[in-house]
Amino acid sequence: MGKKHRLTNILFLTPAVLSFSLVMIVPFFLGIYYSMTDFNGVRSVLTFVGFDNYKAMFTEPAFLYSFLVTLEYTVINVILVNVVAFFLSLLVTSNVPGKNVLRAGFFVPNLIGGIVLGYIWQFIFNNVLTALGTNLGISFLEKTLIGNKNTVIWAMSFVNIWQYAGYIMMIYVAAIQGIPANLMEAASVDGANYWVRLRKILIPMMANSFTITLFLTLTNSFKMFDLNTSLTQGGPAGMYMLKAVKTSEMLALNIYNTAITKNLWGQGQAKAIMFFIMLVIVSLVQVSINKKKEVEM
Amino acid sequence: MKKLVALVLALAMMLMATAALADIRVSNLKVEIDAALKEYAAEYSKTAGFNVEAYSVGGGADYSGSVKAELQAGNMPDIFVIEGLGGYNVWKDYIEDLSDTEFAKNTSVGFTVDGKTYGFPVAVEGFGLAYNKDLLTKAEIDPATLTTTSALKAAFEKLDGMKEELGIDAVVSMATSVAGGMTWVTGNQNFSAYLSCGLPYGDMTVIDQMREGKVDEARLTAYATFVDLLFTYSDQNILLNGNYDDNVNAFATGKTVFCHQGNWIDPSLAAMKESGMDIPAMGFIGEVMFDDQEITGLMVSAPSWYVVNSQSPNKAEAIKFLEDMVATEAGQDYMVNKAGMVPAFSNVTLEPSGDLSKDVMKAAGAGDIYSWGFGYMPDGFGQNNLGPIFELLAQKAISVDEFVAMVADQFTQIPALLESAQ
């Protein structure tokens, strides 16, 4: 009996384990190996260079700038996406008319791919908004927002909110609906107004969904690539440490450009490993902090 | 159970066998000829006994990245494109020697290394400043006199003062932005003027210097002054935010007098004409980047080459496809009439119909041409390292002198980059 069970287990697990190792585990270790070679992405004879690729990235202004800009974008984006999603979820769980239509409406942008979205919004920023700005005399919009290094990160975050807030909203909606109605009713009988209920009951009760949404938005912002590629390609150019850099080139795009357009696969891979380590640290810290705030029923 | 496994394996092998029939896949970099190439490949497949499938990656997309992705996916095309020595060094394990082919004997611009021909020149192409003939006539400017930077500057000033009369938005249409995907054009193509404009054809002095990581400061300053002049009189919105389409459209619709582009826009212009638009008569002047030397010629070269994947089982068919493109009437008709390219082969006598292509052919015939040198730069260098500096100059965030200093600073990385690419 036991033996037969074991065979079944192995048979059922094999496809998942096999595909997971082939597309995740093997490439990961292969990646660590490549990061210590001078691989260019094509040739088959590799030279081992040790940690040279790791050293190189810390003296490269473009990479350091990408790191800073990724942090900036992540902070802005995590806060804004969650705030917007939270208020949307409050809106669609209240008694507004047509709340199901609203829910669907807020969620739909999430179904459009990031690349397509990037091109659509590029057109909106470059042509529609500038035309509006010129005709209505709004000087802020006369020049495209993605062509200015001070606004480009905000513009990117704005598009990401438009795309992603609906998804995060759904998680919040599920959490709000999971809160027993009698809890809220009891509080309101006791004289707690909406603001107090929100602060003392709703938000603490939603703590475990904050763990999830913060994790999702954090990793999503850190790994941003598709929108970055299609909306700005890293532009506009700017100066950093007296070198020309692309002011919206985030880490993932910088890694891609290093490995693919510059044919420095080894260096790109080394950056990717650093990227991985940073992301693991940041998300572990975030999850452990959030876990402490969760309450059990 | 065993039988089932055997059956599945047999089926899988059959599937693989059908997929591996003598089909050849052609990966193309010139989006302008996409439709014509597909049509020719389809026609060709009808009589050739094997299927040719052509597809295009380009127009701002990352070509060599896409071929690499196909390699990683085990789906390498049989014919793909390289753009010079940099590409050759990356792909040399996958590039077939084509020295024994008929077309290699009929061209002077094949891609050669150590006397062996590896690449089939896709076309002869030229660029410079395209001008609108009518508008220049109206402004009483003779394009033949625009051979120095100061002459060009005087003409720009005059045209800039006549904006309303001429009905133009700006004097020049040019695009530089990273966001518009134009760093390839500035950092590679336009920068070739620095590398070879005004020098004898194929002269390697400045290129060799560049490969040692050094700049010719006087030459670079002259070049930067010329580029800055173009930027100053450009439509600023197109310059800083526009893409390829914006760049060409403004010129084609008569909204600018000049356009920094090459004869490869001819097919796009022809398509616009067909759709009922009024396309002005055009011509070319060169990259007039000096004051002490007159430039009358254009930057003309075979900028990209088809190479045959040496590890493909169907390389014989792939070579035959290329041979027939040059040898047969249908192939020549495709290259010159359908795709509007300037042919790179001496046995092809047809002439292209586009204004700009005619000018390129004329310049090439007269030998009044300068080669392109960007293929000698490290991979992605023009796009990633130089492109953003051009954009900064366009934004007026840096001066001409700072531009020169920043380019010189980037050049110091070149020897190491080239060495790692060996």
Per-residue pLDDT tens digits for B339-363: 888 888 888 888 888 899 999 988 8
CB atoms within 10 A of CB A128: 12
Residues of A in contact with B184 (CB under 8 A): none
The verdict on residue A160 lying in a domain is yes
A144 touches chain B (CB under 8 A): yes
Average pLDDT, chain B: 89
**In this complex, do B180 and A235 lie within 8 Å of one another by their Cβ atoms?**
yes
B65 touches chain A (CB under 8 A): yes
> How far is the alpha carbon of A75 from chain B, nearest alpha carbon, in Å?
23
Helices (H) and strands (E) in chain B, counts: 21, 12
Q: Report the domain count for chain A.
A: 1
Q: Is the pLDDT of residue B11 over 70?
A: no
pLDDT of residue B16: 52
B66 touches chain A (CB under 8 A): no
Q: Report the domain count for chain B.
A: 2
pLDDT of residue B351: 86
Which tokens in the block code for residue B391?
């954009």
Q: Is B390 left (phi over 0), alpha (psi -120 to 50) or beta?
A: alpha
pLDDT of residue B87: 84
B409 and B292, same structural domain? Answer: yes
B138 and B28, same structural domain? Answer: no
B408 and B296, same structural domain? Answer: yes
B341 and B248, same structural domain? Answer: no
In whole angstroms, give the CA distance from residue B321 to residue B270.
27
Range of the domain at A133: 52-293
| CB-closest option in B179, B237, B406 to A232 | B179
Identify residue B184 by its one-letter amino acid code: W
B309 and B284, same structural domain? Answer: no
The verdict on residue A44 lying in a domain is no
What's the rounded mean pLDDT across residues B182-202? 91
The verdict on residue B260 lying in a domain is yes
Nearest Cα neighbor of B33 from B154, B108, B125, B139 is B125
In whole angstroms, give the CA distance from residue B293 to residue B276.
42
Q: Which of A233, A240, A254, A269 to mutate to test the interface with B (most CBs of B within 10 A)?
A: A233
pLDDT of residue B7: 59
pLDDT of residue B80: 94
pLDDT of residue B107: 85
Strand ranges (DSSP E) for B185-314? 258-262, 282-285, 298-301, 305-308
Which stretch, A76-80, B54-58, B313-317, B363-367, has highest mean pLDDT?
A76-80
The verdict on residue A196 lying in a domain is yes
Partners of residue A223 on adjacent β-strands: none
- CA torsion, ordered B320, B325, B327, B330, to nearest 10 deg: 130
Residues of B in contact with A236 (CB under 8 A): 177-179, 240, 391, 395
* Residue numbers of B between 228 and 257 with CB closer than 8 Å to A: 237, 240-241
Range of the domain at B103: 2-124+302-354
The verdict on residue A149 lying in a domain is yes
For A111, phi then psi, to 5°, come to -85, -10
B276 and B163, same structural domain? Answer: yes
Q: How many CB pairs lie under 8 A apart between chains A and B?
A: 101
Q: What's the sign of the alpha-carbon dihedral B115, B120, B123, B126? A: negative
* CATH code, domain carrying B185: 3.40.190.10
* Better pLDDT: B72 or A231: A231
**In this complex, do B378 and A246 lie within 8 Å of one another by their Cβ atoms?**
no
Distances (CA, A) of A77 to A70, A220, B158, B214, B221: 10, 10, 49, 43, 42
Give chain B's largest Cα–Cα span.
87
pLDDT of residue A192: 87
Which tokens in the block code for residue B21?
């029939």
B320 and B295, same structural domain? Answer: no
Residues of A in contact with B409 (CB under 8 A): 243
Residues in chain A where the model's pLDDT stays below 70: 1-2, 296-297
Q: How do strand B258-262 and strand B111-113 relate by DSSP bridges?
A: unpaired
Distances (CA, A) of B351 to A213, B38, B339, B343: 63, 21, 12, 8
CB A122 within 8 A of CB A229: no
How do residues B193-240 score in pLDDT, each as one tens digit? 999 999 998 889 999 999 999 999 999 999 999 999 999 999 999 999
The verdict on residue A29 lying in a domain is no
B183 and B236, same structural domain? Answer: yes
H helices of A178-264, in order, are 181-189, 194-197, 203-205, 207-222, 226-231, 251-256
A133 touches chain B (CB under 8 A): no
Give residue for tokens 């790791």: A54
How do residues A72-116 score in pLDDT, each as one tens digit? 999 999 999 999 999 999 999 988 898 889 999 999 999 988 889
B310 and B277, same structural domain? Answer: no
- CA torsion, ordered B11, B15, B16, B18, to nearest 10 deg: 130
* CATH code, domain carrying A84: 1.10.3720.10
The verdict on residue B331 lying in a domain is yes
How do residues B374-420 score in pLDDT, each as one tens digit? 888 888 899 889 999 999 999 999 999 999 999 999 999 999 888 87
- CA torsion, ordered A208, A209, A212, A215, to nearest 10 deg: -90
Q: Is the pLDDT of residue B1 over 70?
A: no
Confidence of residue B180 (pLDDT cuts 50, 70, 90): confident
In whole angstroms, give the CA distance from residue A58 to residue A36.
15
What secondary structure does DSSP assign to B370-391, as a single string?
Answer: E---GGGSPTTIIIIIIHHHHH
